[in-house]
Amino acid sequence: MVLLYHFYPKIFTGGFVGVDLFFAFSGFLITGLVIDEYSRDDHFRLFNFYVRRFKRIVPPLLLAVVIVLPMSLLISRDFITDISHQVAAVLGFVTNYFEILTGGDYENQFMPHLFVHTWTLAIEMHFYLIWGLILWFLVRNVIKQRHFSVVARGEMLRERVGLAAIIIVMIQLVLVNVEVLQGTNVNQLYFADLTHSFPFFLGALVASFTGVYHLPEAFQRLIDRWSTRRAIVLMFLGFAVLMTLLFCLHYDNDVTYLYGFLLASLATSVMIIAARVLHEKTPNIKEPAILTFLADASYSVYLYHWPLLIIFSHLMERNEAIILTTVLSFVLAALSYYWVEPLLTNRKLGFQHNRKPWLVGRWTAYCCLALLTVNGAWICTQAPQMSSLTRKLWVGNVQQDLDQLNGLAGQFNQNTSSASPVQKGKIPAGVTIIGDSVTLGTRASLAERVKNASIDAQANRNMGEANAIVAQQIKANTLRKNVVICIGTNSLDDYEQQLQDLIDQIPKGHRLILMTPYDGQADATWNSAKLAVLERKLPAKYNYITIADWNKIAPAHKEIFGGGDGTHFAGNSEGDELYAKAINQALKEAAKKPVKS
């Protein structure tokens, strides 16, 4: 589900709830194994619990980081901007809070962090630390009840674990509802422990009822009453709910946070119960080897797929990148699980039969890991602290502020001199350019290449905000004769109405030039692509509108984007020249047309 969401986010819009499926299952498995340990040994060793979690999580994670870092050099250095902080957040298991603090930055919409997906590991580790302590406390409390039998104490532990899990789930669900009603940013809701770790505890609740190896009497009675057919029906019912969520949920919808994550977790819990019953009902059916491999490799596949997808998507076509990402993720995951991890954690290798190859393999693994780690550390120290896009946007903003100050100074001097101000109603000559971050990144070039142009650009600007700028300039009588609108990459769902509002408010005596938006990551279903199609139809209806078709020009010159995000070309002189040329060509065409009458 997660891979489908990352590969085709516009089709499998709710695939991110695969994370909640994993959370619920992880909570079930970990809690069930702790209860089993107490039932078997009449004890729970917290330190050993943490060591087991460390060995399972950290070696594959470290290996993935040091392998991905050198591969990231294949694309733009902008993607490793300040990478040391990302790596520190990953290895410190605080990526979720790192994303809350930085993931909302405009640049990250186009250049996502290579390790953003490790936010799940951060929440998982926090769960292990906190829930492990709670379980240890509950076990210690139960052990003191010496007047009860071992079996009775085991049932007592299950009841207390279940009660603790229910309390935590209820508190978090209430908190989620309060945060949604208060309009809390969805990134914070999605990444925060307090609003997105309840699936772990739902899984823990299931474990307290079913167990993993040691079955409680109540669940054994349930197994005796249920038929295999009923368990299969329940399994497919939970699966059907998950498939429905896969296509229906959306990341930024309140319904997702109020009900979606809960439904996904409950459906997973139902499937766990059904699978546990089926396991007892079908003792002679063995798990297919391919499923065992998928289970072994799944964690490392998750670690590799996201950064590899980002890297390969900027080197080849999307579908080719997806295929290569999938294949290489499984190859690296198999290498990690069946060779490197056993060597690093002293786990037995399935394909080793004597000690000598094991020693050779172990030292080979240590040397390779050491070299990769040193190389990764070097990459972190050499990574830029500010991307070329950020630097260009900063420069553009400063230049724009200076131009506005100079404009205010000019108006002040004009109003205080003997010369009369521009008469009200007289249209200033020249060009007004209103744009978003793409325009802002090339602002200095436009100022040089487009004659008599006033440029107003801002990152993340949409058509509604551009309309407000136009209205302000109309009121101040500063809107020039030729109005160029370079907006659309950040199109909202109401783009049609906003475009019509722009057309309606352009005053008489002006010409309107629309620069069609281009987003290298967009397909035909994106609002920006739909806006480009709509804008091309307008000159047939309005004779004062001209199209500068950047949406067609840019794809024919992909070299201007380098290995970047496919939308911005900040710092690329060829891109600057091509962008200005498109506007100047459209202005020449517009000069042959009438103004709005």
Which residue segments constitute the domains of the chain, with CATH numbers given? 2-382 (no CATH), 388-415+422-591 (3.40.50.1110)
pLDDT value for 396: 66
Is residue 563 within 8 Å of 74, Cβ to Cβ?
Answer: yes
CA count, 13 A, side-chain hemisphere, 482: 30
Burial of 121 (0-12, 13-18, 19+ CB in 10 A): buried
Least confident of 123-127, 139-143, 489-493: 489-493
Residue 127 confidence class, pLDDT cut points 50, 70, 90: very high
What is the reported pLDDT for 354?
Answer: 44
pLDDT of res. 351:
46
- Tell me how far apart the 2 most distant CA atoms of the chain are, in Å: 103
Report the sign of the C-alpha dihedral through residues 409, 413, 416, 420, in that order: negative
**Three-state DSSP class for 419?**
coil
User: Comparing 5-14, 70-79, 191-200, 563-572, which segment has the lowest mean pLDDT?
Assistant: 563-572
Q: Average pLDDT for residues 36-46, to the nearest whole number?
A: 87
The count of other CB atoms within 10 Å of the CB of residue 396 is: 25
**Residue 98: what pLDDT?**
92
What are the structure tokens assigned to 563, written together? 């290995």
Per-residue pLDDT at 343 = 79
| Res 358 pLDDT > 70 | no
Confidence at 564, pLDDT banded by 50, 70, 90: low
pLDDT of 411 strictly over 60: no
**Mean pLDDT value across residues 73-84:** 85
Q: Which residue has the higher pLDDT, 480 or 421?
A: 480
Cα(370)–Cα(243) distance, integer angstroms: 43
What mean pLDDT comes out for the span 363-381? 86
What average pLDDT does the structure give for the chain?
Answer: 87
SS3 of 442, please? coil
CB within 8 A of 146, min separation 6: which ones?
none
Between 443 and 228, residue with greater pLDDT? 228
Q: Where are the alpha helices (DSSP H) in 417-479?
A: 437-441, 443-449, 463-476
Q: What is the pLDDT at residue 95?
A: 94
DSSP helix/strand/coil, 338: helix
Whether 510 and 481 have beta carbons less than 8 Å apart is answered as yes
- Per cent of the chain over pLDDT 70 is 89
Give the confidence band of 199 by pLDDT, cuts at 50, 70, 90: very high
> How does residue 422 score in pLDDT terms, banded at 50, 70 and 90?
very low
Asked which of 150-154, 214-218, 400-404 is least confident by mean pLDDT, the reply is 400-404
d(CA 383, CA 395): 21
Say if residue 105's pLDDT is above 80: no
pLDDT higher at 184 or 421: 184
Question: How far are the Cα atoms of 360, 378, 483 from residue 366, in angstroms, in the given order?
Answer: 10, 18, 63
Please state at what angle helix 198-210 crosses helix 119-143, rounded to 10 degrees: 40
Q: Which amino acid is at 312?
A: F
Distance CA(561)–CA(569), nearest Å, equals: 5
pLDDT exceeds 70 at position 353? no
HSE-CB at 486 with a 13 A cutoff on CA atoms is: 28
Q: How confident is the model at residue 587 (pLDDT cuts 50, 70, 90)?
A: very high
How large is the average pLDDT for residues 229-255?
Answer: 95
pLDDT at 571: 58
What's the confidence (pLDDT) of residue 594? 94
| Burial readout 31-70 (b: 16 or more C-beta within 10 A, e: otherwise) | bbebbbbbbeeeebeeeebeeebeeebbbbbbbbbbbbbe
Rounded to whole angstroms, the Cα distance separating 198 from 165 reads 9
d(CA 1, CA 115): 19
In this prediction, residues 399-407 reach a mean pLDDT of 67
Nearest to 78 by CA among 111, 114, 106: 111
Quick one: tokens of 103?
């993931």
CB 560, CB 571: distance < 8 Å: no
- For 171, the token pair is 């508190």
> Which residue type sits at 114?
L
Contacts for 131-135 with beta carbons within 8 Å, 24 or more apart? 131/27, 131/30, 131/31, 131/200, 131/201, 131/204, 132/34, 132/46, 132/49, 132/50, 132/53, 133/46, 134/164, 135/31, 135/34, 135/44, 135/161
Question: What pLDDT was estimated at residue 565?
Answer: 72
User: What pLDDT score was predicted for residue 190?
Assistant: 93
What pLDDT is recorded for position 441?
Answer: 84
Which of 161-175, 409-423, 433-447, 475-489 is least confident? Answer: 409-423
More confident residue, 322 or 362: 322
